[in-house]
Amino acid sequence: MRKTKLHLNYAGFCWAKENHALRNGKKRNIKFHALWGLIEHPEKGLILYDTAYTGRFYEATRRFPNNIYSKITKVEIKKEDEIKNQLLRNGIDPEEIKHIILTHFHADHIGGLLDFPNATIYTSSTAYHYTKKLKSKLAFTKGVLKDLLPADLEKRIAFVEEISEPKNDEIFGTTYDIFHDKSLIIVPLPGHAAGQIGVKLETQKQSYFLIADACWNEETYRKMHLPNPIVRLFFHSWSDFKATVMKLNTFHQLHSDVKLVPTHCSQTTDKLVSDKIDFHAL
């Protein structure tokens, strides 16, 4: 693979039950951090991986029926922790961001989209069209807050299936080389959300597979410890989710040198995140 550079950090979190995230978890509240990534590509420049939470979440859930979402999912995000402010503290103008890879359209992944009006947004056509057809008043039941989406989204979106030729993959079936240079490989990871994708990349130090919410905890892909079945109510497809986890388990066994990064697994991400953007750390 062609090497890139990577930075990871959090922008807000929500509270979750550990025994929901893992069937054998403890009956306690845990933080589901909203992970985001900044990738430096040799030619394309800076690329965001998801956009986490911003304070817009509070405004988007202030009124009925979206306030039901905020009552079920307790979110905490400070202004200084929003991605654009983290970038500014590190000397990066948010207008420099010309590319965003959006894994899926849940609120903790799209929260900062409006802060990057110059960026092309790469996602799957399945994720976009599923989200588009959701009725605004019911979208929150699928984890989507349409007020967080840019009005010009349709003009700025690039579907990974259309901009790159599909490549056969022995585990995942199909992958996509979005920049045609083997730097960022997009992998379909359906189940948790319609059309969810992940990203494989390699830095000077490590190969990474950013798997979004394909699973919530590393024990799931390592040991096949699934979430509590109660959460299937919030998944797009429980059968697709289990199939994706099986594929991740196989991938991990065959490629143990690759670091898999689930968005909400603190056990994994706490070791990788940093407030200071240092592209030599990872």
pLDDT at position 89 is 97
pLDDT at position 24 is 83
Give the residue numbers spanning the domain of 194. 5-269
pLDDT at position 165 is 86
CA atoms of 252 and 258, how far apart (whole Å): 7
User: How far, CA to CA in Å, does 100 sit from each of 18, 115, 236, 252?
Assistant: 30, 11, 23, 26
pLDDT at position 51 is 98
Contact of 247 with 200, CB cutoff 8 Å? no
Is residue 274 in some structural domain?
no
Task: Tell me the three state secondary structure of residue 15.
Answer: strand
Is residue 74 in some structural domain?
yes
Q: Could you tell me which of 122, 120, 100 has the C-alpha nearest to residue 112?
A: 100
Number of domains in the chain: 1
Is residue 114 in some structural domain?
yes
Q: Residue 184: give its domain's CATH number.
A: 3.60.15.10
Residue 131 structure tokens: 């989200």
All residue ranges of the chain with pLDDT < 70 are none
Q: Report the percent of the chain where pLDDT is more than 90.
A: 90
DSSP state of 229: G
Is residue 166 in some structural domain?
yes
Is residue 277 in some structural domain?
no
Task: Tell me the three state secondary structure of residue 224.
Answer: coil
pLDDT digit string (tens) for 268-280? 999 999 999 999 9
pLDDT at position 241 is 96
CA atoms of 177 and 199, how far apart (whole Å): 10
Is residue 280 in some structural domain?
no
pLDDT at position 230 is 85
Is residue 219 in some structural domain?
yes
Is residue 101 in some structural domain?
yes
Q: Report the percent of the chain where pLDDT is more than 70.
A: 100
Alpha-helix runs per DSSP H in the chain: 18-21, 56-60, 67-72, 83-89, 107-110, 125-133, 153-156, 160-163, 218-223, 238-254, 266-269
